[in-house]
Structure 1
Amino acid sequence: MKILITIPHFFRQENNPKYGSQRNPEPRIQALTSSIVSLQQLFGKPQLMIKVGERIAIAANTLSNTTIDIFICTTGDNHLIDQIPLPSDLFKHYKTNTKALLLGFECHKILKEKIDQYDYYCYLEDDLIIRDAQFFTKLNWFNQVTDYQKLLQANRYELSLNQYTGKCYIDGDLLHRVTASFQNVNDEAELKGQIMNNPVIFRRALNPHSGCFFLNNEQMKYWAEKDYFLDQDISFVGPLESIATLGIMKTFKLYKPAPESANFLEVHHWGSAFINLLGSVVKFR
């Protein structure tokens, strides 16, 4: 399986920051580094097993062999690429001079240019980390048992051991009106399946935003042929949310694993900005 990952990366420190990309650089360096490392460890670099008795290493996980190309898109000098403590051959640096808040559309351009060269075309914000070796296996299964107009989105989560929890999913339902003009969540509202004798439930997402998406070749071609592809529409919440979510929401029926089986497909959101809201801004029923 060949996988293409595009990551928009921007950093410029501001006095009154709105986004994490405008605050302290160190967490952004750690997040992007962790994202690249995890992608290469899970899907890029060869995997081995040590045969202790013979003191030799043999190939492992060859039944699910994958290759990965990572493109990190930046604009001007507003980035931290030169501070990432990794060899430069682990990713490709794609330089632009576009407006900062529209940087993600440059990732969309790359995805379109590479159609028919990969099995999966992916967009991943620079503070998201995939930690599941079966991530694309699960996507493949979903795509095989449904159709190309149904797209499965991952649940973002944060980790922190506090008095309330150790793990929290941060993109629960929005109010219905927020996405009502873009999607009809009552159309095939729920899908059910079973994986290794365990039930799994998928529901149309009232909050379809995940900061990422993962399209197979058929889905990428279908979206890229739409007249609104790359139209730079940012009418869903804001520019970052629109770039990650609006185009695919216009094009596909978006599902997420329901809360009952939220970890079926998930990505780690670096930091604890949302989980720290528990008990204050976010109340308990």
Structure 2
Amino acid sequence: MRILVTIPHFYNPDGDHQYGSVSPDPKPRIQALTNCISALHHQFGKAQYFGHFAPFSLFYANQCQDATLDLVICTTQGLHVLDKLPISAESYQHHATNAEPMLLGFECQAFLAEHLGKYDYYCFLEDDLIVRDPWLFAKLDWFTALAGSESLLQPNRYELSLTIGDGIQKVYIDGDIDPDFVAQFHPQWEQPEITGEVMQQSISFQKAGNPHAGCYFLNQEQMAYWQQQPHFCDRDTSFVGPLESAATLGILRAFKLYKPARQNANFLEVQHFGNVMMQRLLRAVGMNKLVEEGNPN
């Protein structure tokens, strides 16, 4: 399997500090991007081995998911932290542009389209997302066979507590938003819920109440279909803002977007670096007002 991953990356210490990419401290951005790149290679790179002790030896492992990974970091105007990363520059390709920083995600779309026909999967990943599931693409293949290529499965983003055993440990951060707002970009469709069975487990998928995930993973057929749409890479920023639009608006217009339902949210998930959103949600909800529906305790 051939995988192309594009990552928009921008860092400006002199920005307005609204996003992590314009924070005065580069360390979190360095750590986030390092984790993003490293995790992709750990899960889908070829250098995976099984160790034996009698005698000491190493054997190539995970051949059943043999993948070739090409990772491209899209930057603009020289504003980045690539020269500060504690990883080899050979682990990625640097694609420099002069785009507006908030529109870098559209440069990623254009890069994917330029390489159509060369890969099995075409991917976009914001630079603070961490993929920890080596079965991600196998799950996507399974879902496409179940629901059809016009349906696209998006992962649930989550954040983790920085301390173990102290209150809530994991929060999925992309809860439902105003359905009327979403419907203006892609109206309702039949079958808002799909159910399948995996390893004798019933898994449910629902129309994405919040289509944003900061990423997408398209097979070759889906990428070709999207690239043919008149709105492809049109730089429309009307979905929340430019960053969210670059990650979500195009696929929202082109596909029926699903996510794993709450009761099996971890079927397909990606980690969001840090826990800023988690803390914001907990403050907004109030620890004494948490909904206990489905609480196993």
Q: TM-score range by the shorter chain?
A: over 0.9
Partner residue of 2:294? Answer: none
Where does structure 1 lack aligned partners over 5 or more consecutive residues? none
The separation in 1 between residues aligned to 2:268 and 2:72, in whole angstroms, is: 23
Q: Is the 8 A contact 1:185 1:205 kept in 2?
A: no
The separation in 1 between residues aligned to 2:215 and 2:263, in whole angstroms, is: 21
Could you tell me which of 220, 228, 232 is aligned with 1:229? 232
Aligned residue type for 1:112: A
Partner residue of 1:39? Answer: 40
Partner residue of 2:143? Answer: 142
Scaled by the length of structure 1, what TM-score is found?
0.97
Partner residue of 1:184? Answer: 187
Partner residue of 1:170? Answer: 173
1:12-31 alignment runs, 5 A limit: 12-14=12-14, 16-23=16-23, 24-31=25-32
1:59 aligns with 2:60: yes
Structure 1 residues 67 and 28, CA gap change in structure 2 (3 angstroms): same
Secondary structure of 1:103's partner? helix
The separation in 2 between residues aligned to 1:127 and 1:52, in whole angstroms, is: 37
1:1-285 alignment runs, 5 A limit: 1-14=1-14, 16-23=16-23, 24-160=25-161, 161=163, 163-283=166-286, 284-285=290-291
Deviations 1:170-195 (A, max 9, x none): 00101212212012345320000111
> Bigger shift: 205-214 or 42-51?
42-51
The separation in 1 between residues aligned to 2:63 and 2:166, in whole angstroms, is: 42
Q: Is the 8 A contact 2:121 2:217 kept in 1?
A: yes
The separation in 2 between residues aligned to 1:14 and 1:271, in whole angstroms, is: 22
Secondary structure of 2:13's partner? coil
Q: Is the 8 A contact 1:164 1:278 kept in 2?
A: no
Structure 1 residues 87 and 15, CA gap change in structure 2 (3 angstroms): closer
Q: Is the 8 A contact 2:78 2:96 kept in 1?
A: no
Q: Is the 8 A contact 2:4 2:119 kept in 1?
A: yes
Shift of 1:163: 4.1
The separation in 1 between residues aligned to 2:122 and 2:15, in whole angstroms, is: 36
Deviations 1:138-189 (A, max 9, x none): 1111112221100000100000037431111000101212212012345320
The separation in 1 between residues aligned to 2:264 and 2:17, in whole angstroms, is: 35
> Bigger shift: 182-191 or 52-61?
182-191
The separation in 2 between residues aligned to 1:228 and 1:86, in whole angstroms, is: 37
Secondary structure of 1:33's partner? helix
Shift of 1:15: 6.1
Number of residue equivalences? 285
RMSD: 1.2
Shift of 1:278: 4.2
